[in-house]
């Protein structure tokens, strides 16, 4: 089997997954422990890339961290990933993100995303149910020093950092999020 049909099938699968919406995953204790390990590693990656990110994690009312969001497309594309949501340093739930896109795009990539909430009201909007970013929402592509110039917009600040891959098209507009509380 050549790689082209396999890649195309993978992309179609991502698109269908994203198009059907997303539900925050129910997780076992073991899966939650793995997600927490991956989230901590992603936070370390953000801080290593830009030490100024530590202040965002420490000083924001809350944040959602997505260690790996897979994105692919050939004309039609999709993205999906899972992450954790924290309020004042405490884990409060899981989240899933999905995105379906159409337009000029080609390739695949994996990236990390951190969403910071300025206050309780902005976190409450995110955790209230299915939350969507409008098409005009933009993220800061993290490079050394990028966090110093970033600011909250409508109570949120969004940072992305590429894990790998190559894709022409890099917006976060149109992302849809779900939230599921973690019960102690």
Q: 92-141: per-residue pLDDT in tens?
A: 999 998 887 766 667 777 889 999 999 999 999 999 976 776 544 556 66
pTM of the model: 0.78
Asked whether the CA dihedral 44, 50, 52, 53 is positive or negative, the reply is negative
Average pLDDT, the chain: 78
Q: From CA 42, how far away is CA 19, in angstroms rounded? A: 26
């Amino acid at each position: 089997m050549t790689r082209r049909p396999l890649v195309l099938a993978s992309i179609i699968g991502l698109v269908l997954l994203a198009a059907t919406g997303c539900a925050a995953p129910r997780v076992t204790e073991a899966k939650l422990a793995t997600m927490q390990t991956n989230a901590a590693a992603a936070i370390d990656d953000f801080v290593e890339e830009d030490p100024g990110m530590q202040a965002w994690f420490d000083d924001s009312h809350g944040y959602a961290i997505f260690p790996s969001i897979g994105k692919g497309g050939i004309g039609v594309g999709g993205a999906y990933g899972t992450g954790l949501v924290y309020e004042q340093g405490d884990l409060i739930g899981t989240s899933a993100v999905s995105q379906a896109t159409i337009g000029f795009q080609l390739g695949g990539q994996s990236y990390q995303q951190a969403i910071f909430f300025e206050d309780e009201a902005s976190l409450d909007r995110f955790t209230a149910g299915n939350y969507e970013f409008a098409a005009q929402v933009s993220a800061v592509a993290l490079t050394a020093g990028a966090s110093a110039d970033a600011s909250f917009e409508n109570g949120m600040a969004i940072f992305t950092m590429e894990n790998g891959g190559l894709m022409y098209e890099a917006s976060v507009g149109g992302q849809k999020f779900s939230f599921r509380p973690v019960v102690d």
